Amino acid sequence: MSGAVVLPLCAGLLAACFSDGTAGESAAEQTPVDAHHSPADLRAELLALATQVSADHGGRVGIAVATGEEVVHVGLTGNSYAWSTVKVPVAVVADREGVATEALIAASISNSDNAAAYQLSRAIDLDLGDLAHAPELEPLPGETFWPLTEQALFAAQLPCLDTEGTTYEAMADIVDWQQYGLANIDGAHFKGGWGLDAPRVYALRQLGTVPVEGGLIGVALMTHPDDADHDTGVDILDALSLGLAELIDADAIAPATSCGA
């Protein structure tokens, strides 16, 4: 799944992308241990985390977290190519409609096999129906635009949206070479995607469902590494996820409302 689109870039220095003056402060240092953060406080923590990671590794980042109160978002919007993260709703709908085998879903999700995902997308006629927070698929599904906020909301609802459970379980069995980013958080179910959003603008994305005290949250991450290198993108997503893990361990993030509630 490939293609090119010119996306608006954040102007100026990296600090200008996250310019609230919190660069250099760690998420753990600001987190009270015994209370969930308000959305405003969580946004400040995520902004500080994004700023520090950008400064340390060189790149622009976006984070969206669907919590019990709202979606908290900082940085890149992700209103750009979803790449292989879109394989998740495709597999869910194909499974619902009885046109997917467990082997095809495993290939598409666990291994990120493009041929298997393309077969599933054709089996559902590129139609995700009424699947909540899912995008409208493009003829090349990886070139579907899917903002981080919608991805986080989708991920938070995924255990209920995936009525068969096959896709969600495959997201807990990702091949070794894709074990980065949200893989650093115990119990995460996730899927990554990557490719060139524009010449020299490399994108690495993940969406996932992550356990927290009392439930789960939906998370979507994205980076454009300055050097357009995949390995740098991996380092960035690793750093973002480790910062999120600190907030989770400090019980700073309230669980999202379950779609079954």
pLDDT digits (tens, 9 = 90+) for 35-76: 799 999 999 999 999 999 999 999 999 999 999 779 999 999
| Mean pLDDT over the full length of the chain | 88
Q: C-alpha distances in angstroms, 124 versus 11, 95, 118, 128, 246?
A: 40, 10, 10, 7, 40
Token pair recorded at residue 101: 């085998």
Nearest to 208 by CA among 230, 239, 226, 187: 187
pLDDT computed for residue 28 by the predictor: 41
Average the pLDDT over each of 45-59, 124-138, 213-227, 246-260 and give the range with the smallest value: 246-260
Between β-strands 189-198 and 201-212, what pairing exists: parallel, antiparallel or unpaired?
A: antiparallel
Q: Is residue 2 part of a domain?
A: no
pLDDT at residue 135 above 50?
Answer: yes
Q: Is residue 20 part of a domain?
A: no
Give the confidence band of 20 by pLDDT, cuts at 50, 70, 90. Answer: very low
Q: What is the mean pLDDT of residues 141-147?
A: 98
pLDDT computed for residue 259 by the predictor: 65
* Domain of residue 202, residue span: 26-249
> Are the CB atoms for 80 and 203 separated by under 8 Å?
yes
Considering only residues 208 and 32, tell me which one the structure prediction assigns the higher pLDDT: 208
Q: What is the pTM of this model?
A: 0.86
Considering only residues 250 and 6, tell me which one the structure prediction assigns the higher pLDDT: 250
Q: What is the mean pLDDT of residues 128-153?
A: 97
pLDDT computed for residue 4 by the predictor: 34
pLDDT in tens, 89-111: 999 999 999 999 999 999 999 99
Q: Is residue 4 part of a domain?
A: no
pLDDT at residue 9 above 50?
Answer: no
pLDDT computed for residue 237 by the predictor: 98
Q: Is residue 81 part of a domain?
A: yes
Taking the C-alpha atoms of residue 105 and residue 87, their distance in angstroms, rounded to an integer, is: 9
Q: Is residue 244 part of a domain?
A: yes
Q: Is residue 38 part of a domain?
A: yes
pLDDT at residue 8 above 50?
Answer: no
Taking the C-alpha atoms of residue 246 and residue 202, their distance in angstroms, rounded to an integer, is: 27
Share of the chain above pLDDT 70, in %: 85
pLDDT at residue 30 above 60?
Answer: no
pLDDT at residue 142 above 60?
Answer: yes
pLDDT computed for residue 2 by the predictor: 38
Give the confidence band of 217 by pLDDT, cuts at 50, 70, 90. Answer: very high
Beta bridge partners of 74: 63
Q: Is residue 256 part of a domain?
A: no
Nearest to 102 by CA among 161, 162, 170: 170
Residue 74's φ and ψ, nearest 5 degrees, are: -140, 155
pLDDT at residue 23 above 60?
Answer: no
pLDDT computed for residue 68 by the predictor: 79
pLDDT computed for residue 260 by the predictor: 53
What is the four-CA torsion angle of 165, 167, 170, 172, rounded to 10 degrees? -70
CATH, residue 186: 3.40.710.10
Domain count, the chain: 1
Q: Is residue 19 part of a domain?
A: no
Residue indicated by tokens 């015994």: 34
pLDDT computed for residue 24 by the predictor: 38
